[in-house]
Amino acid sequence: MEEFLIDEQFLTAITAIAKEATKSIYISTFKAERTTKRKGEKLKEFFDVLTEKARTGVDVRLIINKGDNRGHIPTTNIEVIRLLKQTKIKVRHLTDGYLCHAKIFIVDKTTAVCGSHNLSVRSCHNNFEVSCQIKESIHIKHLADVYEWKWENAKDN
């Protein structure tokens, strides 16, 4: 049975799911940010979990928009990309002018979440956002196949 994650429930859920990862964590997002402000504590915890999982050998991948001077790309992505590349987290961006707008989170190809949440304070605390935790294996497999296809056609940041 699918479960809807509304507003702040999203970060709590994906952090718990990420902690259980043993093989892979695949993520795509339009925007990501890491902040030391109080509202950003759960985001920092999530990124810390990703970093720890990557250090223990879990294949952690992120497709995100490359930070550049185009006004519609969030500047916070630049710092997140820089920080994640210092770990073993693999980061790529789409090519040919495509923007990554899909918000996808897949763990071990057994659990997935997709919806409207970016990995940002505004998305998880100030906006009305809804994402859905997918538990049906056939749908997770298809979503993982789509992610891997996009990953193979993306470029390193």
CA 33 vs CA 40, 52, 91: distances in Å: 9, 18, 14
| pLDDT at 35 (0 to 100) | 84
| pLDDT at 131 (0 to 100) | 97
The per-residue pLDDT for range 104-156, each reduced to its tens digit, is 999 999 999 999 999 999 998 899 999 999 989 999 999 999 999 999 999 99
The per-residue pLDDT for range 25-48, each reduced to its tens digit, is 999 999 999 888 888 999 999 999
Domain around 78: 3-156
Domain count, the chain: 1
Q: Which residue has the higher pLDDT, 12 or 39?
A: 12
| pLDDT at 73 (0 to 100) | 81
The model carries a pTM of: 0.94
Q: How confident is the model at residue 65 (pLDDT cuts 50, 70, 90)?
A: very high
- The CATH number of residue 31's host domain is 3.30.870.10
Secondary structure letter of residue 1 according to DSSP: -
